[in-house]
Each structure stands twice: as C-alpha cells, then as structure tokens.
Amino acid sequence: AQEVVDAKLIKAGHIINVETGRVTARQYIYVEGDRIKDIGPLAELSNKDLPETAEQIDLLNYTLLPGLMDSHVHLIGNANLHGYNSLKESTPSAAIHGVANAKTTLMAGFTTVRNLGAPGFADIDLMNAIDDGTVPGPRIIPAGRSLGITGGHCDNNLLPFEAKVTAGGVADGPWAVRAKVRENNKYGAKVIKFCGTGGVLSKGTKIGAQQFSFEEMKAIVDEADLLGLKVAVHAHGEDGINTAIKAGVDSVEHASFISDEGIRLAKRNGTYLSMDIYVSDYILSEGEAAGILEESLAKERIVGKKQRERFKAAAKAGVKMAFGTDAGVYPHGQNGRQMQYMVDWGLSPIQAIQAATINNATLFGVSEETGSLNAGKFADIIAVGENPLENMKALEKVDFVMKGGVVYKTAP
Ligand code: ARG
C-alpha cells in the first residue's frame, strides 16, 4: 500500500448507525485527513489495502457514534452572569469566555453547535478562529445578533431610558428587519435567530405575548430565504409559535406552550422543535444564587413543567425533533444531560440520539458533511464507555472526541 499522510485507523467495539438505528460490533473506521474514507467490519480489514502507516486508535472497549450536535447554545459570554450581573460584561470579555466555552463544549462530545445569538458578531469570530485552528472548539453555525422588537426578549431591558441601551439586533417593521437580516449576513451569520415571544430570562416580557407581527416574521423569513439562510425563532407562547411556523421558520426554540394546532402546523410544514427541556432544573435550583431575577424564576415555575408535557405531546405526534439545550444559561459541557430527559419525556433512545445527530445536521443544512458516520463525511466521531441506547447517561461522560480527523480527547 502507498504511503498516505494523516491516515488513522479506528478499531471500534460497537458503532451506532444513527440512520438505521442498528448497532454493529467490531468495526473499523478508516480516516484520511478530515474525512471518513471507509467503514466496515474488522473481519474484512485483512482484505483491505489500507496504508500500514495509519495511526491505530484502539476503541474496542467503546461504543462509537457521530459527534453530538446542539441546535441552541450561547457560547459567547460568562455563563455565570445572570440578571443585572450580565450588564457588567464587555463584548471582549464575553468573547474570551467564548473561547473557553467552545473547548468545554467540544470536550463534552459536541462537534457542531448552532450559536443562537451573541453580542456583536463574536460568535462569527469564534467560528473563524476554530476553523483556522487557532483555538479548539466545535463547528459553529453562528447567528450573530438575534433580531427582536424594541423592548422584547431579544432587547436588553434592564436599564432605564436615560441609559439608552438597545440590543444590536433590535428592529421594528418589515423593512427594518430585512435590513437586520442583510447586516447579519454581511458580517457572516449562517442562521437567523429572532425572538417571536417574550421569554423567561428577560425583564418585563410576557411568555405568552407574541413579538413581531406576521408581516415582520414573514419579512425576516423571506429575506433569509433570498440569502440562503435558515431561520430559528425563540417562541414560548402559542400565538407566536403558530405565527412563526406560518411565516416559514425552520425551527421553533423552546416551544413551551405549543398547542395541538401548533403541533399540526409543525408536522405539516416540517418545522423542527428545539425544546430545551433540561434547563428548567438548573434555573429553579441554582438560578436564585446565580442572580436570575425573581420575576424570571416565577415565569420558569410555570414554563418548565408545561414545556415537558408539550414535548411529550409533540414527540407522540411525531414532530421532527432537534436537540437544543440553551447551554450558556447553564454551564457549557453539561449539554448531554438533556439526552436522558428526551427519553424520560417520550422519545425512544435512538430518536433522542437522532435528534442530536442526523436531525440536527439536516436542520442545520450540513447533513452532507456531518451528522452520521459514512464514507465521505467529516470524521466527527465520539466514543463512550457504555452503549447509550441502554444507558443514555453514558452521553454525559464522553471518553473520546475526534473532529475533522483530529483527536481532541484520547480515550483513557
Ligand atoms: N432563554 C430562554 C428564555 O429566557 C430560557 C428558557 C428556559 N426555560 C425553559 N423551560 N426552557 O426564555
């Protein structure tokens, strides 16, 4: 066999095929550069003409699956700053924390994330620094600034009028929101995020209140379509959810109060739900000490439980599920904790894994490149000590991480 630079031969105890749900024992994955070149049973390895110089990676005691993907994180910022404390943080400081958060996220087995909102365009700079090898981190689909109405969930409402604080993505009216989409695109956003209802953690907003009219939502989606960008909407209340789905968004984030009508609309339009059903536990147990406003805690007491019930209804109805956590509200690297919750609230184990791999890859528009283990795709591979189909909590402790053929975490 000829000499190939940068060849790696992984020997796997088990591999989960996230497309078929099948688990196969004793497999190999042959990696060249950043791509999977070949994958098959170890028994057939002797018939293959693979380079002898390939670096051997022994994962015979592990179960392998594609790198996990999270459809909703906020890497930029110090995740310990909540409520009024968040006003203390400069954008450069937020970006520095972003560098650390990106590494933590990758080491937890998340090789691709959608960053749904960041101050300035720091998530785009972070993406570039990761892609050029300056710092370690996951592949990032960055949103840049989140669009929102004046005084809405995506504005900053903590200070009085005299302070003149307005978040960078605030715009009112169809043409103004189109301009914001164009601006985000200009500075490198790969997805558009807007706030379609009030939220839990924003001061003075109502969960049930729709933000942006249908005309504005439609303008955002139409402009994003022209530019080839997908759209994610933050929406808890049913009116905002239904209106956003009708306007054509690709995913609904949170979707806490999605009605039966909303579930029907999502099914009909192929809209993904990205429901962060773990974070409530963090907010209600640690939130007060972390500085989350009392009014937000009061909202969370209503939202958290309802959201899980509606997740169950949506799962039962067969709506497309993304895996989105809102990490950044709680510590990065704990994203995997939501996997068990997805199963507790109605998905089968393989469906939960599909949400965090192939479904997210499809939602992000990167399924040709990553999200499953196939020849031709990026070698984004993780390994865990136990089969997660039998114990989902195995995904809270990922032992081996490869992204684009580079090993970031070596199995013990
Ligand atoms: N960023 C979201 C908001 O402020 C967090 C919601 C968290 N709660 C929940 N149950 N998912 O609205």
Q: Supply the CATH number for residue 390's domain.
A: 2.30.40.10
pLDDT band at 2 (very low <50, low <70, confident <90, very high): low
- Give one DSSP letter per residue of 372-384, joined into a string: S--TTSB--EEEE
Q: Which atom of ligand 1 is nearest to the CA of 199?
A: 12
75, part of any domain: yes
pLDDT greater at residue 3 or residue 83: 83
Q: Check if 152 has its Cβ closer than 6 Å to any atom of ligand 1.
A: no
pLDDT band at 394 (very low <50, low <70, confident <90, very high): very high
Compute the distance from residue 83 Cα to the ligand 1 centre, in Å.
13
Q: Which atom of ligand 1 is nearest to the CA of 280?
A: 10
Partners of 234 in the β-ladder: 195, 253
CB-based contact 356:389 (threshold 8 Å): no
Instruction: Kindly state whether residues 267 and 326 are assigned to the same domain.
Output: yes
pLDDT for the residue 5: 76
d(CA 327, CA 322): 14
- Give one DSSP letter per residue of 289-320, joined into a string: TTT--HHHHHHHHHHHHHHHHHHHHHHHHT--
Instruction: Kindly state whether residues 142 and 17 are assigned to the same domain.
Output: no
Instruction: Kindly state whether residues 256 and 163 are assigned to the same domain.
Output: yes
Parallel, antiparallel or unpaired: strands 55-66 and 35-41: unpaired
> Residue 278 is part of which domain span?
68-364
Compute the distance from residue 41 Cα to the ligand 1 centre, in Å.
44
Q: Check if 123 has its Cβ closer than 6 Å to any atom of ligand 1.
A: no
Tell me the average pLDDT of the chain. 97
Catalytic residues: 193, 326
Query: Coil, strand or helix: which one is 345?
Result: coil
pLDDT band at 284 (very low <50, low <70, confident <90, very high): very high
Q: Check if 72 has its Cβ closer than 6 Å to any atom of ligand 1.
A: no
Instruction: Kindly state whether residues 12 and 144 are assigned to the same domain.
Output: no
Q: Check if 199 has its Cβ closer than 6 Å to any atom of ligand 1.
A: yes
d(CA 162, CA 184): 28
ipTM over 0.90: yes
61, part of any domain: yes
Mean pLDDT of 332-361: 98
Q: Which atom of ligand 1 is nearest to the CA of 303?
A: 10
User: Residues of 148-172 as b/e, b for ≥16 C-beta within 10 angstroms?
Assistant: bbebbbbbbbbeeeeeeeebbbbbe
pTM above 0.95, yes or no: yes
User: 115: closest CA among 94, 139, 82?
Assistant: 139
Q: Which atom of ligand 1 is nearest to the CA of 254?
A: 11
pLDDT for the residue 380: 98
Instruction: Kindly state whether residues 278 and 291 are assigned to the same domain.
Output: yes
pLDDT for the residue 364: 98
d(CA 79, CA 328): 5
Q: What is the pLDDT of residues 186-220, one digit of tens each?
A: 999 999 999 999 999 999 999 999 999 999 999 99
Q: Residue holding tokens 């993780």?
A: 382
170 DSSP 8-state letter: B
Q: Above 80 in pLDDT, residue 20?
A: yes
d(CA 372, CA 380): 8
Instruction: Kindly state whether residues 43 and 144 are assigned to the same domain.
Output: no
Parallel, antiparallel or unpaired: strands 110-115 and 139-142: parallel
| Beta-strand runs (E) in 169-271 | 191-195, 230-235, 251-254
2, part of any domain: no
297, part of any domain: yes
Instruction: Kindly state whether residues 231 and 97 are assigned to the same domain.
Output: yes
Q: Whose CA is closest to atom 5 on ligand 1?
A: 200
Compute the distance from residue 229 Cα to the ligand 1 centre, in Å.
24
Instruction: Kindly state whether residues 241 and 378 are assigned to the same domain.
Output: no
CB-based contact 4:52 (threshold 8 Å): no
pLDDT for the residue 65: 98
| Amino acid type, 70 | D
Q: Check if 303 has its Cβ closer than 6 Å to any atom of ligand 1.
A: yes
Instruction: Kindly state whether residues 73 and 112 are assigned to the same domain.
Output: yes
Q: What is the pLDDT of residues 224-244, one digit of tens each?
A: 999 999 999 999 999 999 999
Percent of the chain with pLDDT over 70: 99
Partners of 56 in the β-ladder: 9
Instruction: Kindly state whether residues 38 and 75 are assigned to the same domain.
Output: no
Give the CATH number of the domain where residue 200 resides: 3.20.20.140
263, part of any domain: yes
The Cα diameter of the chain in Å comes to 75
pLDDT for the residue 350: 98
Q: Check if 326 has its Cβ closer than 6 Å to any atom of ligand 1.
A: yes
d(CA 213, CA 210): 8
1, part of any domain: no
Q: Above 70 in pLDDT, residue 131?
A: yes
Q: Check if 377 has its Cβ closer than 6 Å to any atom of ligand 1.
A: no
pLDDT for the residue 52: 87
| Amino acid type, 166 | T
pLDDT for the residue 39: 97
Residues comprising the chain, all counted: 412
Q: Check if 221 has its Cβ closer than 6 Å to any atom of ligand 1.
A: no
Q: Above 80 in pLDDT, residue 83?
A: yes
Partners of 350 in the β-ladder: none
Consecutive H or E run containing 37? strand 35-41
Q: Check if 300 has its Cβ closer than 6 Å to any atom of ligand 1.
A: yes
Instruction: Kindly state whether residues 61 and 73 are assigned to the same domain.
Output: no
The number of domains in the chain is 2
Compute the distance from residue 200 Cα to the ligand 1 centre, in Å.
5
Compute the distance from residue 275 Cα to the ligand 1 centre, in Å.
9
Q: Whose CA is closest to atom 6 on ligand 1?
A: 200
d(CA 310, CA 306): 6
Residues 6+ away with beta carbon under 8 Å from 286: 330
Instruction: Kindly state whether residues 230 and 155 are assigned to the same domain.
Output: yes
Q: What is the pLDDT of residues 355-372, one digit of tens each?
A: 999 999 999 999 999 999
307, part of any domain: yes
pLDDT band at 3 (very low <50, low <70, confident <90, very high): low
204, part of any domain: yes
Mean pLDDT of 144-150: 98
Pocket test for ligand 1, best of 201, 233, 278, 345 (most atoms within 8 A of CB): 201
pLDDT band at 142 (very low <50, low <70, confident <90, very high): very high
Compute the distance from residue 307 Cα to the ligand 1 centre, in Å.
10
Compute the distance from residue 173 Cα to the ligand 1 centre, in Å.
26
